[in-house]
Amino acid sequence: MLAAETLRVFEGLSPKRPDDVPVRRYLALVLGRLGDRSAVPALVAAASDPDVDTRLYAVWALGRIGDPAGVEPVLAASQSEDPALRKMAAYVLGQFGDKRAIPRLAVLAEDRTADVRWNAAIALAQLGDRT
């Protein structure tokens, strides 16, 4: 019930209304914490939100839920210009346990931002890759 209502409110908010943006960020985190797979399609959409923080929180939430449908949007987020989003994506790719992420993580392990490299290295180790 709580997950369904949270999802309903999240989907009713607009990324184009400035007052809705911080609420969408928070609710993305809540949806991840609740772990209900019914939120995955909305979080996949939010992973390409115009607001970078909403994208970051949606990526985290997708990793927390762990549904395989989240892998592709997180791979896409790992190519962001924003280093915080690349860092989160690298972390989340390790959480999914999906070996399709290894080639992208190998690239992230050479990223210009140290935290991205660190998370990529940890994720590669979690996936059993010695790169």
Q: Is the pLDDT score of 131 beyond 80?
A: no
Write phi, then psi, for 74 (nearest 5 degrees): -70, -40
Closest CA to 7 of 32, 15, 19: 32
Q: Is the pLDDT score of 130 beyond 90?
A: no
Over the stretch 63-104, which tens digit does the pLDDT of each residue have? 999 999 999 999 999 999 999 999 999 999 999 999 999 999
Q: Is the pLDDT score of 6 beyond 90?
A: yes
Instruction: Give how far Cα 25 sits from Cα of 19, 29, 42, 57, Å.
Output: 11, 7, 12, 6
Q: Is the pLDDT score of 58 beyond 90?
A: yes
Q: In this structure, which amino acid lies at residue 1? A: M
| Three-state DSSP class for residue 44 | helix
Average pLDDT, whole number, for the chain?
A: 97
Mean pLDDT confidence for 8-34: 97
Share of the chain above pLDDT 70, in %: 100
The mean-pLDDT minimum among 24-28, 55-59, 109-113, 126-130 falls in 126-130
99: part of which helix (H) or strand (E)? none
